[in-house]
């Protein structure tokens, strides 16, 4: 099997995507990007060694008491939804770049 060479920007985006949410797994992100789990893991470890990896946020702790009519609850939910939107936009952009990259590789 031939080794594939990925652009540094693609690697950095993949690492950022993995580190953007504590619920992400190597397997899920790698499958989404069409790379192997081990490759993604190596990229993340390398970025962490060089200090270029962003800090992975801690998992959010669910609150035990919430008043559904409170404006604070709505504000918190709004922030969570905006964060999810940013994550999905990042995933979309990475997948677009990957599609463009792989489309350039095929020479029929």
Instruction: Assess if residue 94 is contained within a domain.
Output: yes
Task: Provide the whole-model pTM.
Answer: 0.54
* Percentage with pLDDT > 70 across the chain: 79
Closest by Cα among 35, 40, 37 to 98? 35
The number of domains in the chain is 1
Q: Could you tell me if residue 2 is inside a domain?
A: no
Q: Is 107 among the domain residues?
A: no
Residue 49 in domain: yes
Query: Does 17 fall in a domain?
Result: yes
Residue 79 lies in a domain: yes
Low-confidence ranges of the chain (pLDDT < 70): 1-2, 53-69, 105-108
Q: What is the pLDDT of residue 72?
A: 84
Q: Which domain holds residue 89?
A: 8-58+69-102
Residue 85 lies in a domain: yes
Domain assignment present for residue 73? The answer is yes
Question: Please, what is the average pLDDT of the chain?
Answer: 82
Radius of gyration of the chain (CA): 17
Query: What CATH number has the domain bearing residue 31?
Result: 1.10.10
Residues 40, 70: Cα–Cα separation, whole Å:
41
pLDDT of residue 104: 80
């Amino acid at each position: 099997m031939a080794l594939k060479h990925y652009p540094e920007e693609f690697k950095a985006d993949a690492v950022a995507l993995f580190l953007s949410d504590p619920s992400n797994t190597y397997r899920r992100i790698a499958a989404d990007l069409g790379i192997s789990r081990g490759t993604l893991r190596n990229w993340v470890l390398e970025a962490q060694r060089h200090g270029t990896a962003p800090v992975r946020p801690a998992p959010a702790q669910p609150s035990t008491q919430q008043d559904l009519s409170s404006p604070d609850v709505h504000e918190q939910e709004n922030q969570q939804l905006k964060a999810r939107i940013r994550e999905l936009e990042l995933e979309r952009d990475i997948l677009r770049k990957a599609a463009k990259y792989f489309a350039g590789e095929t020479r029929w």
